[in-house]
Amino acid sequence: MSKQLNHPELVDLIRMAYSAEKAAAFAYQGHAGSVKNAEDKAAIRQIELDEWKHRSEVLDIMNRYGIKPSTYYEFRFHVVGKAISFSCYIIGWFMPFYFAGRLESGNVCEYFRMKQFFNSLGISEHDTILYEMGIKEKEHEVYFYEKIKDSKLLPFFEKLFSWGRHKQLNNIDLDSQLPVEESGVYCKN
């Protein structure tokens, strides 16, 4: 018998993350297909595979607690992912890289918030996997940012969408990354 989680916000976040990983993977299929550079294509394809792996890891956690996927989230994120995938072929090179970076910047905190919620329930057995998924999302963010950091469009998009050179959606610095045990300070707000 699976243990039940008495934390509605955590359960919802887990369900949303599970479905959102599918949307991200679909989006990266289109993004990889739309770029011409072979190295970029391979890197984006690897990021897609990372997203499918995260989805599987989140499902493992869901199964442990008897959490069923949300039909609503599954449908919504399926449509969103396919729409983004298609749009990558028509919106030029900058926007897919920019919005992927912004999305990943926010996704980092999903996993650190999950870790914090689990810890608030006295559960620490998922700390390492949630930490690793959050760090991997940060690596994705950095990859996409590096691709657009010199674009003349970046200042305008940063002002409009609150992400870029001076604005981040998380407080993680990969160059001075904290170990799992000290990572409770990440994504506190």
Question: Is residue 1 over pLDDT 70?
Answer: no
Query: What is the reported pLDDT for 2?
Result: 65
* 3 state DSSP class of 82: helix
- The model carries a pTM of 0.94
Quick: pLDDT tens for 134-147. 999 999 999 999 99
Token representation of residue 80 = 């969103």
pLDDT band at 188 (very low <50, low <70, confident <90, very high): confident
Name the nearest CA neighbour of 84 among 38, 48, 138: 48
Q: Compute CA distances 66 → 15, 62, 69, 122, 125, whole Å.
A: 12, 6, 10, 18, 16
Q: Enumerate the domain spans of the chain.
A: 8-185
Dist. CA 168–CA 177, nearest whole Å: 16
If residue 64 lies in a helix (H) or strand (E), which one and from where to where?
Answer: helix 38-64
Average pLDDT, rounded, for the chain? 95
| Residue range 8-185 in CATH 1.20.1260.10 | yes
Beta-carbon contacts of 27 under 8 Å, excluding residues fewer than 6 positions away, are 81, 84, 85, 88, 100, 103
Kindly state the percentage of the chain with pLDDT values over 70.
98
Name the nearest CA neighbour of 108 among 78, 135, 72: 135
Quick: pLDDT tens for 125-173. 999 999 999 999 999 999 999 999 999 999 999 999 999 999 989 999 9
* 3 state DSSP class of 187: coil
Q: What is the mean pLDDT of residues 60-74?
A: 97
